[in-house]
Chains A and B, each alone.
Chain A
Amino acid sequence: NAGVTQTPKFQVLKTGQSMTLQCAQDMNHNSMYWYRQDPGMGLRLIYYSASEGTTDKGEVPNGYNVSRLNKREFSLRLESAAPSQTSVYFCASRVGEGYTFGSGTRLTVV
Chain B
Amino acid sequence: GENVEQHPSTLSVQEGDSAVIKCTYSDSASNYFPWYKQELGKRPQLIIDIRSNVGEKKDQRIAVTLNKTAKHFSLHITETQPEDSAVYFCAASKGNKLVFGAGTILRVKS
Contacts and interface: CB of A to CB of B under 8 A. Distances in A.
A41 B6 CA distance: 10
Give the bracket for the number of chain A residues in contact with chain B. Answer: 20 to 34
A69 B101 CA distance: 30
A99 B44 CA distance: 10
Given A59-B1, A97-B32, A97-B34, A43 B100 contact: yes
B63 interface: no
B9 A40 contact: yes
B96 A50 contact: yes
Nearest to B3: A59
Contacts of B1: 59
A43 B44 contact: yes
Contacts of A43: 44, 89, 100
A33 B48 CA distance: 20
Interface of B: 1, 4, 6, 9, 32, 34, 42-46, 49, 51, 89, 93, 96-103
Interface of A: 31, 33, 35, 40-45, 48, 50, 56, 58-59, 90, 97-99, 101-104
